[in-house]
Structure 1
Amino acid sequence: MFVRTGYFTGDPARLGRALDGLSAEAVGLLSAEPGYRGFGLFANRELGIITMGSWWESAQAERDSDAKLGGRRAELVAPFAGTVAVDVWEAAAFAPPREGGPGAGFRLVRAEFDPAAADRLVGIFREQALPALERMDGFVGGALLIQRDRGRGSVGAIFSDRAALAASRGPQAEARAKVTAAAGVTVRSVEEFEVVVLDRRPPQG
């Protein structure tokens, strides 16, 4: 599975218009493309940040969809976005979201690792971090995304509401410390967002 993410910052006063456009169009546009498997739209309204991710069953499906829809994405965020970052990741380990939507919370952790240790990191995340997340009250779903060649990774975790997100801060910090020590990971940032849109499509076949 492959994930294309967008990270956009701008004037918080203009964020609402961009969210409205993305909420109205994104799922319809993406779901019409072959290989589409899901979409998440997240916002920090106070700071003026939008981040989103679309899930694809193959690297080719991701590339084809971006070639077709990248222009429309730029148009939708243009009224808001002063900075734009788009990346493609391998979904190395994940627990697909069971539910979630407005009112849910999303935590994003960015990290760096030795590219030669990518498989070790994935194994530790699957064996330690993901089970720890799944035991937390209100956990809805989460994923480890990596760029193997660049040694970059991110962990996203969705919780059922803002209270569950807040309550998970301590337990997730403890789990994060254990994984980073075991896998030699350097954490670069931890951010929290509200969930605006969450769409999941089951695999075909």
Structure 2
Amino acid sequence: MFVRTVYATGNPERIDRTLDGFRAEAVGLLTAQPGYRGYGLFADRELGKITMGSWWESAQAERDSDRELRARRAELLAPFEGTAATALWEVAVETPPGEAGPGAWFRVVRTDADPAAVDRMAEVFRDRALPVLEKSPGFVSAAMLVDRATGRASVGAIFADRETLVASRGPQADARARAVAAAGVTVWSLEEFEVVLLDHRRS
């Protein structure tokens, strides 16, 4: 499985218009593409950040869909966007998607490691960090995405609401520190976003 992520920053005063556009069109555009398996749209309305991820059954399906959808994605981002970056990831570890209703929140941690250590990093997350995460009240789902060429990884977790996300910060910080030490990786960002839209097709 592969995931295309988009990370955009812009004027917070114009974020709602762009989010409304993606809510109205994204799932319809994506489901028309072969190999589509899911989508998530997340926002930091205060700072002016949007991140999103679309899931694909193969790297070829991701490439084909990106070619078809790139122009419309740019149009939808245009009212808000100041910067935008797109990346392709391989899914190394994932839990069942789970169900998240209104008010859900998303935490994402990005790390760097030696590319030769990617499998070790995924093993540590699966065997040490994920069991702790899954026991957290309000936990919905999680995934580790990796770029084997660079050693980068992105670990995302969805919680049922902001209250349980906030309550998980301390325990997850401790678990993350242990996993980072065991895997030999460097954390370079930690962010939290409101869940705007989720669409799961992976089952």
What TM-score do the two structures reach when normalised by structure 2? 0.98
Matched, 1:33 2:33: yes
Greater alpha carbon shift after TM alignment, 96-105 vs 173-182: 96-105
**Residues 97 and 158 in structure 1, CA contact (< 8 A), matched pair in contact too:** no
Give the match for residue 19 of structure 1.
19
Matched, 1:180 2:180: yes
Alpha-carbon distance in 2 for matches of 1:68, 1:95: 29
**Residues 102 and 194 in structure 1, CA contact (< 8 A), matched pair in contact too:** no
SS of structure 2 residue aligned to 1:97: coil
Matched, 1:117 2:92: no
Q: Return the offset for 1:71.
A: 0.7
Alpha-carbon distance in 1 for matches of 2:88, 2:25: 21
- Show CA shifts across 1:64-121 (max 9, x none): 1101011110000011000000000001001132111431010011110011111111
Alpha-carbon distance in 2 for matches of 1:178, 1:107: 18
Give the match for residue 43 of structure 1.
43
Matched, 1:143 2:143: yes
Which runs of no fewer than 5 residues in structure 1 stay unpaired?
Answer: none
Q: Which runs of 4+ in 1 moved over 4 A?
A: none
Give the match for residue 195 of structure 2.
195
Matched, 1:71 2:71: yes
Partner AA of 2:67 in structure 1: A
Alpha-carbon distance in 1 for matches of 2:185, 2:60: 29
Q: CA RMSD in A?
A: 0.8
Alpha-carbon distance in 2 for matches of 1:154, 1:95: 14
Alpha-carbon distance in 2 for matches of 1:32, 1:164: 35
- The alignment-based identity, stated in percent, is 67
Partner AA of 2:176 in structure 1: R
What TM-score do the two structures reach when normalised by structure 1? 0.97
